Amino acid sequence: MDTAKLVLDYFKAIVVWPLVAAFTIYLFRKEIRTVLARLADALERIRKADFLGISLALSQQMVSEATPKVSESKPALELELSTSAGGYSKDYRAILIVVGIANRSDKADQVISWKLSFPSIAVELDPTAAPPSTIPPKPWWSAPNVEIQPNKFVQGTLFFRGRDALQDGLPDEPLLGRLTARTLHGKELAKDVKVYYLLTLQRNPSLDS
């Protein structure tokens, strides 16, 4: 009796279960391919993000910083700019900043220009297109124009190539700057920004929170 049961279990292990597994894979082949494709895409995104020097923790922190904070003591602005800390990449000699714009009004607007200024070193930077091989915490805003739809919140990442005193690094850390956006309807949105080396932020993602 024990021998017959042993033979039956052996038959299941060798023949039946592989057939069941093969049938299951065939039955759910589309779903499996989708999951594997998403996994490969996620791994590729992580690889590219690491190439830029941004870990998942730092990416999430920068996105959180660029989200407006609701205050019970102060009325919310109709049009509000929020930013993360700036990160200076030594590889690209550039600064990236995650930016959020909240439009709490019923009127649409559009950003027509950005300026990142550093009064202490008399440098002003305009955003440029980022390297195509990099994936930011939020999509690149390569063009200066950003649509601001009514009652919407949008986020993106700006890329500023360093020049003059910022060509070879930061003269101070953090370097204090100011990000300014001008809109089609003549509004000016501004936010103070602290810029650190990406390596500094990588070691302590919540440094500027």
User: Could you give the CA distance from residue 49 to residue 87 in angstroms, rounded to a whole number?
Assistant: 13
> Domain end: 52, 70, 92, which one?
52
Residue 92 sits in the same domain as residue 170: yes
- Which domain covers residue 144, as residue numbers? 56-203
- Residues 60 and 31 placed together within one structural domain of the fold: no
C-alpha dist (Å) from residue 115 to 2, 69, 123: 81, 23, 10
In Å, what is the CA distance from 83 to each residue of 106, 165, 190? Answer: 23, 23, 10
Number of domains in the chain: 2
Same domain, 48 and 60: no
Do the domain assignments include residue 208? no
In this structure, the answer to whether residues 48 and 72 fall within a common structural domain is: no
Q: Do 75 and 163 fall within a single domain?
A: yes
* Per-residue pLDDT of the chain in tens (209 residues, 90 and over written 9): 566 665 556 555 565 666 666 667 777 777 777 777 676 655 555 444 444 667 888 999 999 999 988 766 677 788 999 999 999 999 899 999 999 999 999 999 999 999 999 999 999 999 999 988 788 889 999 888 899 999 999 999 999 998 888 988 999 999 999 999 999 999 999 999 999 999 999 888 777 66
Kindly report whether the peptide bond that precedes residue 136 is cis, defined as omega within 30 degrees of 0.
no
- Please tell me whether residues 62 and 156 are part of one structural domain: yes
